[in-house]
Structure formats: structure tokens, C-alpha cells
Structure 1
Amino acid sequence: MSRRIPADCVLPDPAAVRTVRSADGAELNVEEYGPAGAPLVVLAHGWTCSTAFWAPVVNRLAADFRVVAYDQRGHGRSPAPAGPAGYATAKLAEDLEAVLTATVPEGRRAVVVGHSMGGMTIMAAGDRPAVAARTAANVLVNTGPGALIAELTVLPPAVRAKVLRRFLHRQILRSRLPLGPVTGLTRAALKYATMGPATPADRVEACAQVVHACPAKVRFHWATVLDTLDVQDGLAKLTAPTAVIAGSHDRLTPPVHARRIAAALADPRGLLELPGTGHMSPLERPAEVAAEIRRVAALVAAEPPTAEAVTAEAPTAEAATAAPLTAEPLEETA
């Protein structure tokens, strides 16, 4: 029997739900919260998560923002790709472009927030004019542009040999085994690997319920992509104002990644390091994460749009022949 989770870890009823079709035909579940016409925030979750991961942040923003959250391919209600070719950082970038095209009206822009693999998605899309045209600012949370295995600190310091550490980390992350039911042991392991030491038990439970819902096959294929991740080029091409959030106790993407990202940004707007916090900042410290999103939104609302946001470049020949980005009819909910 599942333990109770905090009230703020339950998503409110969405204002609208739609299915967005990406360039290769992949279907993405997209949920919208808050008043239509309000300032836009788009949320991209991380590896093994879903829109449910963002519940504490959605609950803190939806009164004043139109919050768009989508399930990355293979996660939540978005179907898994048919084969390995559907798992790639380029596909994540295509999906983000499709979601922004479908949910951000022409002439408007959104604050785009990515946690973990969601942040990597934003960086992977750094060279896409259609994404830049609809982005007012970015917030990159608990993420990194590459060298993920090399910087992991999941294993204890006693395992000192770098080669052995990398090998063992790789075996852990790329396991094909199902996580099984949530138990006391799996909660303890998840808390150790992904959350700060003082995280309350009910928030660990909320995290476990989200992560355990991810299919083992999907977890494995995306872990394979993350193993060799390199989105440095995309990071260098991000032109929108961008803020970075890190957790001081993040074992999966330690703060060294956040510092590298901040140093590489064309328009950095702050690096917030949350003390005592692990990899799951939006669940562990949702008030601070939501406040930072609000700060960035207010910051860019007072500024004129960049040249990239005003005019998108003409599509390439490859883009012109790609499958169209489409959205199924919007389903408004009561």
C-alpha cells in the first residue's frame, strides 16, 4: 500500500489537455494549467519522470501563469518510441519545438524550464530558430551539458578508482531491471541517490511513485543516450536570458555542472544553489524553484525581445521536408 504524499504533490485538474505530434510522428501528452492569456511557462521534466513530477511547482504558479507541462517521449502518457532511433537528444529538441509551436501563440514567448533531462532538452534545442522565437527565458534546473558519468557521485568516496567508479555508475544507470514496487529499501536508495538527506518521507514517496512508473525499457534507452550526452554546442547557442538552479547535494548532476553552464551562457541571469538539496529540487524545494521562475519571468517581462525572438530564420530544406508539427484538437476540461 502506497504511503500518502503531500497535497502539493498532486496535480490540479488541467485547464486543457492535448496531444502534440512531433516531427517524426511521436505523440506527446501536453497538459495546461492556469488562466488562458496569462504569462506562459513551459515545463520539461527529467529522466524517468512525468508531468506529475512538476505538481508542486504547478500548484505554486497556476494562479498567475498559463503553465504547460508535457510528458517526454516514453514517459507518463507519451508513448515510447518504436525503436532505438527514437531515443536521441535531437528527438528531445524536436519534441520541445513541437510543444512550443503548438502551445505558444505567434508573437508570444514563454519562460521554458527544464529539470535534468529537460534542461538537456533545452540545451539540445539551442540552435533551433523556432524555439528561440518562442522563448523569453530559460531556467535550467539540476542539469548538465555532458560528462555525466564522469561527474556522478552516487557511489561512496571509498570507491576511489576513477575507471571502476565510471564502470559501476554506468552499470547502475543502464540497468534493464524493472524497479518493481515501492518499498522501504527502494525509498531509501532513491533518497540517497537523488534527494537531500533532510528530505521528508512524504516527498521521497512522491518521488518514488513518479520514478517507479517509468518503464524499464524507456529508462534504459534514455540512460544510454545520457551516457554519451554532449549538448555543449547547443548550450553555446542559447541566446535567451537563462538562470540556473543547482542542489548542493545533487549526486546525479553535481553543482560543478551548473557552474560550467553559467560560465558558458551568452546571457546568464543568476546561479541559485540550494543548500541541502539533491537532484530533485522541484520536489524538494518547490517554493524556491517557483520563486526563481517568477523572478526570471518578471525580469524578462520588462525587457524588449531579442532579435532571435522577433524573427526566426527561414526553415532549412531538411526541416521543410520533415513531417509537420501538428497538435490534435484541444480538449478543454471543466
Structure 2
Amino acid sequence: MQFFRVDLDEISLHCASLGPEDAPLVVCLHGFPEYWAAWHAVAERLAGDFRVVLPDQRGFNLSTKPLGVEAYRARNMVQDLHGLAEHLSPGKPFILAGHDWGASIAYAYAFAHPDRLTHLVIANGAHPVCFQRAIVEDEAQRRASQYFHVLRAPDAAAHMAKDGFARTMKMIAGFSRTDWLTPKAAAEYRDAWAQPGAMEAMLHWYNSSPVVVPKPGEEAGDVPLLSVDPERVTVRMPHLVVWGGADEALTTACLDGLDAFAPELTIRHVPGAGHWILHEKPDEVAAAIRAFVAPG
């Protein structure tokens, strides 16, 4: 494992890396409330044949934490990723993988820079239009997404940090099983969350998001994501989704209609896996990625 920083125009990204530098590049994006270590177990299984780079996204752990909600619009994270890609693989397409919020940025990057990717891999994450539609139309997904209101509240950072980040740990346990979360791993997560300004910055991802989450029984009202031109949100490279069906945060309704946005779509269901599929089933995730990017 190697660690390095990439300095961009306004921020600096802290990254971990495994595998030979001349191997095909895979960049893996974590979600909330994780950091680069979300993909560590999967990366270890890929590192023999790939260079796997695991950045802390802006606002998380050891990367820069700019102030204000506007700094966490998806376009800014896409710009971060583009700068990182130009540093790691100038002019050469690479493989991009994302989980949870990292999936959101991976999708946004794929829409904006289709020429830079050979493959897009998503592990228990949702296409933005499919996710928004599921929240509006699927009762179970709407219920599952009510935690957005907790994390968007004005006092959310203090709430999630209280008593040694007890509520943050409880939220992790609420999304799927956590037998992978050893005392050592839990301590490392608390260290990442305790970085100055980290919890506030991490929560800005929720407050900056255009996703509309009506309460149960409410009318959805104006839902901008459902009016987006499909051409703007089409995945134009081979696309793999690795899915654990025991996810308590994302229901399988999030996959409905995905094929309309991804002409070269492959879905691999992993039995017994939940939202933390990267930790729960790293062998299966790594094997699915290998088979997808090097078929036969």
C-alpha cells in the first residue's frame, strides 16, 4: 500500500494505491460515511493485475474540506476526479468504480467524460434518475431514504458526532450487517470522521444534492431529476452493477429502468450481500470486476 497526494487547482486529494504503476488503472470512489478504506479489501484482490487508486473524496478524511455547501455540488467532485485522472492516466482511458455516493460521482463523471472511461463499475449505488424515480414511486425506497432528512438537518454534524460518533456507527449498522467492522476498523473510521471539519463537509454532500425525498404520503412536487434529458444521463461505455439485495438503504427498485440509460449493462447479483458489499463480499466483487473488464 502506498499513499500520496495530488494537488489540484483548489484542493488536495489524499489517495491510497495498490498494484504496479504500469498496470491498467482502476479508480475506486467511496461513499458516506466512509473513506478510501471502503475499497481496500477489493483492491487487495485486484492489485496483482491492476493499479488500484483509492482517493479520499473532497470533504472526507485527509483530503481538503472546502467550506460551504456549494463546494460539494457534484460538478466539483467530477472536476476533482478529472484532475486526478489527468494526473494518473493522462490521455489514456481507465476503469472507474463507485459505491454509494461514490457511485453518484462515478455516474456523473461517465456522463461528462465518456471518452475517458473503458468501463464503469457500480457496487450498490444508483443511477441518479433511477434513484429519484424509486424514491418518488416505490414506497419501500421512500421509507428507506428518510434518513436524508436527518442528515440534512441544521444540527446534523453535532448529532452524528455525539458520544464518539455513536449515531454514525448506528446508521452504518442500519444499512446491512457489520460483522466486518472490527474494533480496529471502527477506530480508524472514528479517526477519519474526527478530522477537523470532516463531519460538516461530509454532510454537505447531502445538502448539495438535487435528490428530492418526500416524506411518506406526501406529494413529491417538483422533481428536477425526472425532467433531465435522457441523452445527458446515458452511460456510453460497458457498465457493470454489482448488487447485494440485502441492502437496507437502496432497494432493488433502484435498478428498475437502468437498462434504458445503459445500452451495455451487466448486473451481477451477489447473494447474502447488503449495502456494505465491498466489505461483506470482496472476493465476489473483485471476481465480478475481473470477469467484466477481461471477459474470457
TM-score (norm 1): 0.70
Of 89-98 and 253-262, more deviation after overlay is shown by 253-262
Q: Which residue of 2 aligns with 1:18?
A: 5
8 Å CA contact 1:120, 1:144 repeated in 2: yes
CA shift digits 1:57-105 (9 cap, x unpaired): 1111112211111111011211111222201111121122111111114
Q: Which residue of 2 aligns with 1:194?
A: 175
Q: Which has the larger radius of gyration?
A: 1
In structure 2, the CA distance between the partners of 1:218 and 1:206, relative to structure 1 (3 Å rule), is same
Q: Which residue of 2 aligns with 1:173?
A: 151
Q: 1:114 aligns with which of 68, 89, 98?
A: 98
8 Å CA contact 1:195, 1:284 repeated in 2: no
Q: 1:213 aligns with which of 151, 171, 192?
A: 192
Matching of residue 132 in structure 1 with residue 148 in structure 2 = no
CA shift digits 1:22-66 (9 cap, x unpaired): 5xx222223322112112111111122111111101111112211
1:256 partner letter: A
2:233 partner letter: A
Q: Which residue of 2 aligns with 1:82?
A: 67
Matching of residue 238 in structure 1 with residue 235 in structure 2 = yes
In structure 2, the CA distance between the partners of 1:204 and 1:137, relative to structure 1 (3 Å rule), is farther
Distance 2:231 2:81 in 1: 14
Where structure 2 has 5 or more consecutive residues not aligned to the other structure, the ranges are 213-224
Matching of residue 98 in structure 1 with residue 110 in structure 2 = no
Secondary structure of the corresponding residue to residue 257 of structure 2: helix
Distance 1:46 1:178 in 2: 16
1:244 partner letter: V
**Higher normalized contact order (CA 8 Å, seq sep 6+, divided by chain length):** 1
Distance 2:170 2:144 in 1: 22
Q: If each structure's helix is expressed as a fraction of its own residues, which one has the higher value?
A: 2
Secondary structure of the corresponding residue to residue 48 of structure 2: coil
Report the Cα offset of residue 228 of structure 1: 1.9
1:275 partner letter: P
Q: 1:295 aligns with which of 277, 291, 294?
A: 291
Distance 2:145 2:78 in 1: 29
Q: Which residue of 1 aligns with 2:217?
A: none
Secondary structure of the corresponding residue to residue 252 of structure 1: coil
- 1:20-39 alignment, distance < 5 Å: 20-21=7-8, 25-39=10-24
TM-score (norm 2): 0.78
1:169 partner letter: Y
Report the Cα offset of residue 227 of structure 1: 6.0
CA shift digits 1:140-193 (9 cap, x unpaired): 1111233758857xxx98xx9x7xx589533323223233466888655522x2
Where structure 1 has 5 or more consecutive residues not aligned to the other structure, the ranges are 1-12, 303-334
8 Å CA contact 1:203, 1:284 repeated in 2: no
In structure 2, the CA distance between the partners of 1:83 and 1:112, relative to structure 1 (3 Å rule), is same
Of 206-215 and 241-250, more deviation after overlay is shown by 206-215
Count of aligned pairs between the two proteins: 270
In structure 2, the CA distance between the partners of 1:262 and 1:71, relative to structure 1 (3 Å rule), is farther
Q: Which residue of 2 aligns with 1:58?
A: 43
Work out the percentage of aligned pairs sharing the same amino acid.
Answer: 25
1:141 partner letter: A
Report the Cα offset of residue 112 of structure 1: 0.7
CA shift digits 1:235-275 (9 cap, x unpaired): 7332110011122111222222134334420221x111222
Report the Cα offset of residue 280 of structure 1: 1.2
Distance 1:263 1:150 in 2: 13
2:149 partner letter: Q
Q: Which residue of 1 aligns with 2:278?
A: 282
In structure 2, the CA distance between the partners of 1:255 and 1:206, relative to structure 1 (3 Å rule), is farther
Cα RMSD between the aligned structures?
3.2
In structure 2, the CA distance between the partners of 1:140 and 1:124, relative to structure 1 (3 Å rule), is same
2:207 partner letter: T
Q: 1:254 aligns with which of 248, 251, 254?
A: 251
Report the Cα offset of residue 208 of structure 1: 7.5
CA shift digits 1:274-298 (9 cap, x unpaired): 2222211111111111111111220
Distance 1:98 1:171 in 2: 32
8 Å CA contact 1:247, 1:254 repeated in 2: no
Secondary structure of the corresponding residue to residue 243 of structure 1: strand
Matching of residue 142 in structure 1 with residue 120 in structure 2 = no
Of 44-53 and 231-240, more deviation after overlay is shown by 231-240
In structure 2, the CA distance between the partners of 1:236 and 1:149, relative to structure 1 (3 Å rule), is closer
2:69 partner letter: P
